[in-house]
Amino acid sequence: MPVDFTAETHMPGHYFSRIARAMARIGDSRLKPLGFATAQLPVLTALRDGSARSQGELARWAKVEQPTMAQLLARMERGGIVRREPDPRDRRSSLVSLTEEARAKLPAGRKVLEEGNRDATAGLSEAEVATLVGLMQRVLANLDALEA
């Protein structure tokens, strides 16, 4: 006997988009006083120990394409968040690292983001959040396989 699934159950795609946008809007508005943005977090996290990485490494880490990372880094450089110095080993490349000011504000930024994630999952038990993440990891694996 077939069950009556709603259209939404067959088309979960739009939910991912709406949630991603809403979390970015909320995160960006809360991070604005610190001078950060949601999209910058992977970069900040990758460099938080003071290390320096190439643009390509950061793009692979953040799972965005290289030109996207190039633009993001340009904005971050303009905002005084990162600094670039030529890579002595490879003249094609430069090494990106955080400025002192960015490193100082970073813990506050991460706290804001964590709180946003907590707010988003309010009312869900730890087990339910784990279930949600587990299902999303399987969906992501499907999509990665499709694009490979």
Contacting residues toward DNA, per CB under 7 A: 17, 21, 25, 28, 37-40, 54-57, 62-68, 70-72, 75, 87, 90-94
Q: How far is the CB of 44 from DNA (least distance, A)?
A: 12
**Binding marks (x or -) toward a copy of itself, 31..70, rule CB under 8 A?**
-------x--xx--------------------x-------
The C-alpha atoms of residue 84 and residue 78 are separated, in whole angstroms, by 11
Contacts of 21 (CB under 8 A, 6+ apart): none
User: What sign results for the dihedral spanned by CA atoms 116, 120, 123, 126?
Assistant: negative
Binding partner of residue 128 among DNA, a copy of itself, none, CB cut-off 5 to 8 Å per kind: a copy of itself
The reply to whether 143 sits near a copy of itself by the rule CB under 8 A is: yes
User: Residue type at 57?
Assistant: E
The C-alpha atoms of residue 93 and residue 78 are separated, in whole angstroms, by 19
